[in-house]
Structure 1
């Protein structure tokens, strides 16, 4: 019937057309959340550049996280909004490949970046006297670059494997070109390729989670040695926001990608995808803003200047 590299006419994204009566609701709901995502993450990036108190390693990595969230939502949501507002729900072959590659790149980069942010919190809590020397600007830049390189290698590997798979059909039961959905169009048994992709997914998801948990075990051990309750609350406060972001990101990603390829959960999978493409990127700035006095102070300072 054809293959991925022969499907030049593109693909039909089914999206939420199963519920035509709810498409207007989805359009309004997703538009509002997308706008909040753009506003929240742009605000975080702007604040870290405008306020000298936020020009530290922690906020340097937070800026990268906000930029990742902006790019990730923008790589999928505009296409979804376009599909919801018109009859034509197709995406070109080149657009599908690009969307898949970008999603894998950004998702893989965030996986590594969250490990880097855990290491930063470890240095702040467990090695406070040496924090500035450990988290040197050159090291921070190297760690950020390593995150992007890791994401690029993940995207290159998985996209290359998918491009070798012959596909039958052009209907994708999703609102963007997701790896698992494309694999379900395979014309023949691809156990070897699926196994390789599963291993790649395990490495990019399970290994970072294991490293983060090991890091926080060390942090918890250090916090227990702090005698004052105020000191313990301060130490935990610097880690709480990161832990919440880690839980949201890895929870939805592992639920989606660490499952059998041919387990088509249909609507459930699409709603989970909505969560990690729209809800989580919108919540990340709120998590860091509401739980962080420095960010709230910087925001109030900027708003105060605007009133003068």
Structure 2
């Protein structure tokens, strides 16, 4: 018969089922990935803040995405780097610290989607209504959209975790390498029907909204490009939209794979590995994709490195 511990203040986390020989390469991969994520995203955030030529809606949205990547990865990766060297009995986390980590992770994923939805709207206005762009995407509008993106994530994720906190817990072992809502409410022996319904509704609304906005905006952009003979417009649209779509598809695929794997308990190890990569891959690729795509960011970096070459001489 299973022993139950009710409402324990501490929880135990699992780890990946990997050999000792694989621990060192995995540790180095996570460490260098995290360092790169922080340096690259902080770098982009600082460049956008410092360079006045980048004080435009598109780059401000890049800045929001960088902040989201920094927060999301900082909530997970440092602890993973420590936990991987601890024996199973010492991978302990306080319950409320676990809730805070789960909130941050879900907030990171939700905000990434909402910010990318705003980016799609920004690209639509810039390409389909270029003459009205400055009157539509004003600073006031941008602030409203940004607050809405973060606010919607805060409210939706707050309700998600609030429904989990109300449950009594009878287990202490988290079937996950870091804290998330699904692993938290599975610690309860009470009915989690409401949690499942809200979680499914939350996921459907978020994915339907983001996918729908992408399909709608890019359909209209495609129609404009096909009917326009302006090669400059088409080139600009292809350049900015392809970058945005690549970033969105990476985020969408990572999220969908995790959701699907949660429905198959026998694939628990695969789910844990995907959950690990979900944090690392988007955060690593976003600054590369946007940094390489942005002519203005490349120009700023070239100026900085040229100055560094001049001073030593």
Q: Do both share a fold (TM > 0.5)?
A: yes
Q: CA deviation at 1:230?
A: 4.2
Runs of 5+ in structure 2 lacking a partner?
A: none
| In 2, Cα distance between equivalents of 1:20 and 1:166 | 36
Say whether 1:224 aligns with 2:226. yes
What does 1:270-281 correspond to in 2, within 5 Å? Answer: 270-281=272-283
Say whether 1:52 aligns with 2:52. yes
Q: CA deviation at 1:266?
A: 1.1
Say whether 1:85 aligns with 2:85. yes
What does 1:132-147 correspond to in 2, within 5 Å? Answer: 132-147=134-149
Q: In 1, are the aligned partners of 2:261 and 2:271 still within 8 Å (CA)?
A: no
| In 1, Cα distance between equivalents of 2:267 and 2:163 | 23
Could you tell me which residue of structure 1 aligns to residue 8 of structure 2?
7
Q: In 2, are the aligned partners of 1:16 and 1:23 still within 8 Å (CA)?
A: no
Could you tell me which residue of structure 2 aligns to residue 159 of structure 1?
161
| In 1, Cα distance between equivalents of 2:255 and 2:186 | 18
Q: CA deviation at 1:258?
A: 5.4
**TM-score relative to the length of structure 1:** 0.93
Q: In 1, are the aligned partners of 2:37 and 2:283 still within 8 Å (CA)?
A: yes
Cα RMSD for the two superposed structures: 1.8
Q: Which moved more, 1:163-172 or 1:267-276?
A: 163-172
Q: In 2, are the aligned partners of 1:2 and 1:166 still within 8 Å (CA)?
A: no
Judging changes above 3 Å, is the alpha-carbon distance between structure 1 residues 263 and 214 closer, same or farther for their aligned structure 2 residues? farther
**TM-score relative to the length of structure 2:** 0.91
The runs of 4+ residues in structure 1 deviating greater than 4 Å are: 258-262
Say whether 1:115 aligns with 2:117. yes
| In 1, Cα distance between equivalents of 2:261 and 2:27 | 29
Could you tell me which residue of structure 1 aligns to residue 76 of structure 2?
76
Q: In 1, are the aligned partners of 2:16 and 2:273 still within 8 Å (CA)?
A: no
Runs of 5+ in structure 1 lacking a partner?
A: none
| In 1, Cα distance between equivalents of 2:308 and 2:166 | 55
Q: In 1, are the aligned partners of 2:261 and 2:267 still within 8 Å (CA)?
A: no
